[in-house]
């Protein structure tokens, strides 16, 4: 009994993981809340659409991401930029199986985020979600349609396919983002 207690007590605190403040944007229905809930090991069944914004601390082995998720409805999107200040990185979620109209709206929103003065130098993780749906466009199609190569040249960005079914791939995408964040913060120091 005592041995066990000592082992727990005397190990000392684990090294502090760095924390990064991120903003998560994307149209309503793109799956932002579900993806973040699943990363936090919360049940996706309890997910409701985000109407204002919500903050989640998403734990990873080597970092904690404090993600400010902004609702994606038309009437909220115009206020997104009010919440950008202090962000160290951006997660943009798009529904790769959405209608042409929604895809175009998502493209415009992503373009304005990539060019926004408070975000333009930050690392971006762009998630092409709902890859498990039959209508999903491939990452190549998304990259071409969103004109990412010319627009994001010289920026630190990652475009990854994802779906709720493939948590390994999602975690891998976030590991890549954490690497970019570490590099970015090191350069800023």
How does residue 155 score in pLDDT terms, banded at 50, 70 and 90?
Answer: confident
Q: What is the DSSP string of 115-139?
A: H-TTTTTS-EEEEEE-TTSTTPPPH
Is 12 flagged in the annotation as binding?
A: no
Does 129 appear as a known binding residue? yes
Q: Is 28 annotated as a binding residue?
A: yes
| Residue in 89, 109, 87 with CA at minimum distance from that of residue 180 | 89
| 51 annotated ligand binder | no
Say whether 96 counts as a known binding-site residue. Answer: no
What is the band of 93 on the pLDDT scale with cuts at 50, 70, 90? very high
26 appears as a binding residue in the annotation: yes
Residue 29 assigned as binding residue: yes
Q: What is the pLDDT of residue 107?
A: 96
- 70 in a known ligand binding site: no
Provide the H-helix boundaries in the chain: 2-9, 32-39, 74-77, 100-115, 139-145, 148-151, 167-188
pTM exceeds 0.85, yes or no? yes
pLDDT of amino acid 9: 53
98-154 pLDDT, tens digit per residue, is 999 999 999 999 999 999 999 999 999 999 999 999 999 999 999 999 988 877 667
Neighbours of 20 (CB within 10 A): 22
Contact 87, 69 (CB under 8 A): no
User: What would the mean pLDDT of 179-188 be, rounded to a whole number?
Assistant: 86
């Amino acid at each position: 009994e005592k041995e066990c207690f000592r082992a727990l007590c005397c190990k000392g605190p684990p090294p502090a993981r760095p924390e990064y403040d991120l903003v998560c944007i994307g149209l309503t229905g793109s799956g932002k809340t579900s993806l973040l809930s699943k990363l936090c090991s919360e049940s996706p069944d309890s997910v409701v659409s985000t109407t204002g914004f919500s903050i989640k601390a998403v734990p990873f082995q080597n970092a904690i991401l404090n993600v400010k998720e902004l609702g994606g409805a038309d009437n909220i999107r115009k206020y997104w930029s009010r919440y950008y200040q202090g962000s160290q990185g951006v997660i943009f979620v798009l529904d790769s199986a959405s209608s042409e109209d929604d895809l175009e709206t998502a493209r415009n929103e992503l373009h304005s985020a990539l060019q926004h003065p408070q975000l333009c130098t930050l690392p971006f993780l762009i998630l092409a979600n709902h890859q498990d749906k039959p209508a999903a466009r491939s990452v190549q199609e998304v990259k071409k349609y969103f004109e990412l190569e010319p627009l994001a040249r010289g920026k630190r960005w990652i475009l990854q396919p994802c779906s709720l079914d493939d948590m390994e791939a999602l975690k891998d995408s976030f590991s890549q983002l954490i690497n970019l964040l570490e590099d970015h913060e090191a350069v800023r120091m």
